[in-house]
Amino acid sequence: MEMTRKKYLTVFLLTVLGDFVASCYGYLIAHEQIIAQMFLGFSLPFINFLSIKYFIDSKTTRERLKITFCCACAMVIGSTSMLLLLKDVVT
């Protein structure tokens, strides 16, 4: 049971980080900051690798749905935190 909690926590935290970086990536493309965009684009697959590995290793549909729900909640937090950061920086 402890490993399952750690797996979901790992997936959640990496997805928050990955979605935040993906939002930054889109912002950097729009504002022509090529070098920073290049490094973020390079790091995104490595950030998302473990979440994808856990999803592929899951045996049941129920477990995959749990991981999908965990990722969806994390993406809400990642995108919202990026927007709030930009709101504070711009104003």
Integer Rg of the chain from CA = 15
In the chain, which residues have pLDDT < 70? Answer: 1, 91
Rounded to whole angstroms, the Cα distance separating 54 from 56 reads: 6
DSSP 33-82: -HHHHHHHHHHHHHHHHHHHHHHHH--SHHHHHHHHHHHHHHHHHHHHHH
How does pLDDT run across 35-53, given as a tens digit for each residue? 888 898 899 899 888 888 9
For the chain, domain boundaries: 12-90
Write down the pLDDT at residue 1: 58
